Amino acid sequence: MSRKSVKFLIPVLSIISALAVSSLIIFMAGRDPVMIFQKMFRGTFGSSYGTGQVVFRMTTLILVALAVAIPFQVRLFNIGAEGQLQMGAFAAAMTGTMLPASVPSSVAIPLCIITAMMAGALWAMVAGVLKVRFGVNEVIATIMLNFIAQGITGYLLTWHFALPSTVHTAPITAAAVIPVFDTVTGWFARSPANLSILLAVGAALLLQVILFQSRFGYEMRAAGLQPEAARFGGINAQMHTLTALGVGGAAAGLGAANIVLGYKHYYEAGMTGGIGFTGIAVALLAGAHPLWILLSALFFGVLEYGGLTVNAYIPKDIFMIIEAITIILVIAFSAVGRQLPQQ
């Protein structure tokens, strides 16, 4: 078997084994796994509302997964997508509330998106500067920056910007709202699926091209694979550390387009709900490849929302177990794959 097909088989095998293990767990919890998976399927792809819910979750997942994947190409582990998304969401909401009502959509939406992306990028680049300048491990730095982001947004929200007796900010100007598919095309019933999925897919395609077709990506991946050789080849590896984290942070910040501009229309405490961490799983399952992330995000979107739909029969926690087992199996199988003889 060629290495290429092994590479493709690994995620498939791990998903299948994860489903098998989950079936066993569901069975032990006293339920029929086939029934549960059927119900899950009906709850998601069985209705246009359910499909919309999956699309909505997938949108954010693609972006936070890109936030992990791009630095991963330079061998940096960005655990901070959650914090970068929070900073982006807060920045988008603040921009949206502060814009006067007279500003047209063509200005308001890009402006909110750009501030969100900048906030995410800057937050990630803090970790980048710490790494390049002082050699601080990026894993530790991004984890800590998650806490700090939570603290900053939490403080600003409760003490300065929350509407009285609520935990959210004032709504953004109507011009900054990204419309849901329901109002534009009539798809996905009244689900929160909105046009920002196009941004997410566009971002994934663009990054795929940049990483694997452009000279910039060629240098960046070289710097990740073999930093010293990159230096000998005249490549500025430190610059690539910074840009990879910056681009990743910007992708996470772009997630705000979906949850703030497309869905809630304000910033709310806890609105990111740990989705940034699921992004790590999505990116790992996709082997940090932007194109595969689209598929992997779809899979996790189904699990996330599908878990909710069968909540009456089986606790949603089971689906957290499936997600975690899938990831562990991907990592384990990849390790086995590397040990196979290179022929």
Query: What are the residues binding other proteins (CB under 8 A)?
Result: 210, 213-216, 218-219, 221-222, 225-226, 228-235, 341-343
Residue listed under structure tokens 């387009």: 257
Q: Which residues have C-beta within 8 Å of that of residue 329, sequence separation ≥ 6?
A: 13, 14, 17, 18
Residue 260: CB minimum distance to other proteins, A: 31
Shortest spacing between CB 334 and other proteins, in angstroms: 14
- Strand-pairing partners, residue 53, are none
Q: How far apart are CA 59 and CA 191, in angstroms?
A: 13
Phi, psi of 276 (to 5 degrees): -60, -30
Task: Name the one residue in this structure whose structure tokens are 């063509």.
Answer: 106
* Shorter beta-carbon distance to other proteins: residue 233 or 315: 233
- Which CB, 139 or 222, lies closer to other proteins? 222
Nearer CB in complex with other proteins: 247/327: 247
Assign 130 to helix, strand or coil. helix
- Name the residue type at position 248: G
3-state secondary structure 148-206: HHHHHHHHHHHHHHECCCCCEECCCCHHHCCCEHHHHCCCCCCCCCECHHHHHHHHHHH
Q: How far is the CB of 1 from other proteins (least distance, A)?
A: 11
- Nearest-approach distance from CB 210 to other proteins, in angstroms: 8
- Minimum distance from residue 343 beta carbon to other proteins (Å): 6
Q: How far is the CB of 178 from other proteins (least distance, A)?
A: 28
Q: Which is nearer to other proteins, 129 or 144 (CB)?
A: 129
Instruction: Tell me the β-bridge partners of 339.
Output: none
Instruction: Give the integer Cα–Cα distance in Å for 182 and 100.
Output: 26
Q: Which is nearer to other proteins, 159 or 232 (CB)?
A: 232
Side-chain-facing half-sphere of 114: CA atoms under 13 Å: 6
Three-class secondary structure of residue 343 per DSSP = coil
Q: What is the largest CA-CA distance in the chain?
A: 66
CB of 296 to other proteins, least distance (A): 22
Dihedral of the alpha carbons of 226, 229, 231, 232, in degrees to the nearest 10: 180
CB of 75 to other proteins, least distance (A): 12
Nearer to other proteins, 43 or 71 (CB): 71
164 vs 234 by CB, closer to other proteins? 234
Residue 264 carries which DSSP code? I
Nearer to other proteins among residue 23 and residue 226 (C-beta): 226
Burial of 9 (0-12, 13-18, 19+ CB in 10 A): middle
Q: How far is the CB of 215 from other proteins (least distance, A)?
A: 6
Closer residue to other proteins, CB minimum distance, 263 or 292: 292
Give the residue from 104, 102, 97 showing the smallest Cα distance to 173.
Answer: 97
